[in-house]
Structure 1
């Protein structure tokens, strides 16, 4: 029988400014949720920039499928191709109604009403909002929760706040649907400081949503709540083991705002994971939610990298940070010792341009991380409080944590040049952690050397390889 409806879930074509596989998982979780809610519908999912689709590829897809509904994902810079995509959709699948969802539209939904969309997910989990919108498009009674809908030239606000789904209702992505071979290529050059480990294939596990830490520059509490929701240990371990049996993954990357927020959960996870074959994994958290015993246990259970939001060691930046992130040099020195003893790589996120700090403070923070044998990943401060509905797509694209937003800083031209040098200059602290992750894929399935051996870490021009 033909499908009752055809639905496309898509990240439109663009040149990505940054790649974190965890941010792209929402495509597959939304698609999985729609299949559960609309079992008779045909749901397709496309990550166009990662899959390197041309506009001709996309035009063929839109014309030949004739979609009824299209859910368009965005991120902090995912608006570059939105106008063009919507023009293609309007002419080649003219019956399709469109809904936007994502981190940027969740923070500033009013700005997305200017793109010619039919609906915007304003609150709640992305998959819940998209399902509400698609069901509304297909004739469901009542106004959708968490979604604003265009009515001619007017917009109707959401009927109610969007739903935050309990973890047992999350659909975990099917590994065979995700273009992991493209992810391998995205992560190959470690000088980019993307989140993945080069030369090894990662399984991304969306373990938790929401965070109570309260960083003013972070979107997580506003989008997903201040109360954390987390998968059960049993479901997490089962998903990992099932996925490793189904495909040649080589390590696990946990997608969770503060992985060690629930210390008893982490300890139970380590205990259960250690009961089978050793599986390497990595996570991101805060220094505040780590201690020596926990780091040691994580290392024993296969953890190879811990990323922490260090942000700055400049005390002038403390007013811009929650108290839990007011850290001094001795704190990061202590954490570095714990990680070294446990055989875990320390990866530190650093914010350049954090209010109250200068370029010298950012430089000293990065130098301290290097001195301790850690890896620093600097990004530009993003003033999310400056987002407003009147921004056009060019202005929205500035909030990508790579460029300074106009008017948001007091840096001189010389300081601005120094700041960009810290973020985009040659990287000398590239990872070697892949050497501690056994290979499982055959040589023909890797993008390393032609002989299947891991290539040397790639370096930016002028950089020396790690020694």
Structure 2
């Protein structure tokens, strides 16, 4: 049988975000689908991609999509990439596809599907779960599905890295090894996103490596790409840069590696090659980086290669909490890297996490004071999310600490605090409303300081690579959007503050009643 593939990037539930805030949030580029699609096409399978960030899917649109794929002697395979916060929508979409056409084969992949394959199988609408890196596994699965016969009759027992049902029993085949040589993979399928590239501020993104040797307790990415650091060949990376610059007219290219500077043997020759081919004169580059990887030699190379933005994960201002989260670097190292980078004239951003285990009010305010003292152009303060299968999640479960999971995991989103109060995790001894209020205050106050306002009006701003404002945003449609965001955030700030005050008043009343009794 012929195979027709439709890959879908599901949307995040509207319950987790406010439209005013979403308007200035980056439309994230679904890199994982592009990697899978490129490998499928290279192996002869036609692929279509639908991104729900751009156009939600309903029954009528699903029928239209299926009619466009349906041919004689053809099996339609629908693949849905699955994040924790989108998992509920993934199962909803799979159910709609099955109701409209029961013969459609559904498969899920991505981080959430990889760590909780049973969850998908238990819905009854997911036929296959692709665990881990999906390129090789998906092609082998499609080869099996090209056989004639009912889905339930096809033998997939020899395919590593998949989960499925045999009758009513779930089957989890052995895990697949990580892809050793990433250069054997075909180029990224930018052409499948080309018609919508103006909607993606991250369209011009590349990966030069996968994996990170560190073991931060909150990181879920290693469930997919592992701890072993693997690189793409220099020529392949330069080919991607050349394509983005010469075909798509990119002016900024963002590296989305798990840890781009984990190996000097990888990054130093790559930076030299960028300069040798004069890409640095035509395009600027951005990348997240660890502070402990940065030294003067690397910084000089980054500057020479025209890296215009480097983002560091400072996470906290407490050295003790850095040890708790097993970051593998110190606050002092990250602070030093931030100061060094700013001194070179490179725009510097950082990301922070509040609500860490054992964290106190004093720790949060120490972090705020530190961040406000640093030469940073952007900062994003988040509340900790204990993603499933992370060391953090496992530890909390073992210790019996409360983790709140709403249906569809909808509260497992960094945006959730801006709209709702049911946080997944709050450290013992911390008031959740105070945690939300402090995090909101830190985000707002950073940009409402005189130096923050000055940077808003003079530089492009990428708050933790999430919020994006171009230069002279105040002369465009962004002005109205920002005013709406500011009004909404102030409303939310006051609402949460009111809840915290009410809780304290009620608590004081309860204590007085108990004393009288």
- TM-score normalised by structure 2 residue count: 0.74
1:191 paired residue number: none
1:461 paired residue number: 486
Map 1:252-401 → 2, pairs under 5 A: 252-275=253-276, 276-277=278-279, 278=281, 279-322=283-326, 324-328=328-332, 331-374=333-376, 375-384=378-387, 385=390, 386=393, 394=407, 396-401=409-414
Closer/same/farther in 2, CA of residues 96 and 424 from structure 1, 3 Å limit: farther
Task: Encode CA deviations 1:392-448: one digit per residue, 9 max, x unaligned.
Answer: 8715333224446445532224423324424764761486699589xxxxxxxx999
Specify the SS of the correspondent of 1:252.
strand
Closer/same/farther in 2, CA of residues 207 and 359 from structure 1, 3 Å limit: farther
CA distance in 1, matches of 2:306, 2:96: 47
CA distance in 2, matches of 1:290, 1:357: 27
Whether the aligned pair in 2 keeps the contact of 1:254 and 1:283 (CA below 8 Å) is: yes
Whether the aligned pair in 2 keeps the contact of 1:100 and 1:119 (CA below 8 Å) is: yes
CA distance in 1, matches of 2:443, 2:58: 28
Whether the aligned pair in 2 keeps the contact of 1:296 and 1:341 (CA below 8 Å) is: no
2:130 paired residue number: 121
Per-residue deviation at 1:89? Answer: 0.7
2:9 paired residue number: 11
RMSD of the TM alignment (CA)? 3.5
Per-residue deviation at 1:87? Answer: 2.3
CA distance in 2, matches of 1:369, 1:447: 23
Whether the aligned pair in 2 keeps the contact of 1:71 and 1:100 (CA below 8 Å) is: yes
Per-residue deviation at 1:29? Answer: 1.1
Specify the SS of the correspondent of 2:261.
coil
**Alignment counterpart, residue 61 of structure 1, candidates 56, 60, 65:** 65
Whether the aligned pair in 1 keeps the contact of 2:82 and 2:108 (CA below 8 Å) is: yes
The higher radius of gyration belongs to 2
1:441 paired residue number: none
Per-residue deviation at 1:26? Answer: 0.8
CA distance in 2, matches of 1:216, 1:311: 12
Deviates more, 1:50-59 or 1:427-436: 427-436
CA distance in 1, matches of 2:477, 2:415: 30
1:220 paired residue number: 221
Closer/same/farther in 2, CA of residues 333 and 325 from structure 1, 3 Å limit: closer
Task: Encode CA deviations 1:150-209: one digit per residue, 9 max, x unaligned.
Answer: 22322111145354352112233233321321114xxxxxxxxxxx6xxxxx51002211
2:97 paired residue number: 89
Per-residue deviation at 1:323? Answer: 5.5
Whether the aligned pair in 2 keeps the contact of 1:35 and 1:43 (CA below 8 Å) is: yes
Deviates more, 1:83-92 or 1:160-169: 160-169
Specify the SS of the correspondent of 1:62.
helix
CA distance in 2, matches of 1:402, 1:87: 26
CA distance in 1, matches of 2:12, 2:325: 33
CA distance in 2, matches of 1:8, 1:393: 29
CA distance in 2, matches of 1:150, 1:421: 45
Whether the aligned pair in 2 keeps the contact of 1:71 and 1:130 (CA below 8 Å) is: no
Map 1:410-421 → 2, pairs under 5 A: 410=428, 411-421=430-440
Per-residue deviation at 1:281? Answer: 0.3
Specify the SS of the correspondent of 1:274.
helix
Per-residue deviation at 1:327? Answer: 1.5
**Alignment counterpart, residue 177 of structure 1, candidates 187, 192, 210:** 192
**Alignment counterpart, residue 149 of structure 1, candidates 164, 176, 180:** 164
CA distance in 1, matches of 2:459, 2:146: 51
Task: Encode CA deviations 1:249-276: one digit per residue, 9 max, x unaligned.
Answer: 1111001011111123222122111121
Closer/same/farther in 2, CA of residues 109 and 432 from structure 1, 3 Å limit: same
Task: Encode CA deviations 1:137-157: one digit per residue, 9 max, x unaligned.
Answer: 333765221001122322111
CA distance in 2, matches of 1:391, 1:204: 34
1:32 paired residue number: 38
Deviates more, 1:291-300 or 1:455-464: 455-464
Specify the SS of the correspondent of 2:351.
strand
Whether the aligned pair in 2 keeps the contact of 1:146 and 1:159 (CA below 8 Å) is: yes
Long gaps (5+) in structure 2:
148-153, 398-402, 417-421, 462-468, 491-517
Per-residue deviation at 1:316? Answer: 3.4
Task: Encode CA deviations 1:206-232: one digit per residue, 9 max, x unaligned.
Answer: 221111111111123332121111112
Corresponding residue pairs, total: 432
**Alignment counterpart, residue 116 of structure 2, candidates 99, 108, 121:** 108
Specify the SS of the correspondent of 1:222.
helix
Per-residue deviation at 1:243? Answer: 2.0
Closer/same/farther in 2, CA of residues 235 and 427 from structure 1, 3 Å limit: same
Whether the aligned pair in 2 keeps the contact of 1:59 and 1:88 (CA below 8 Å) is: no
Per-residue deviation at 1:320? Answer: 2.1
Specify the SS of the correspondent of 1:150.
strand
CA distance in 1, matches of 2:60, 2:458: 37
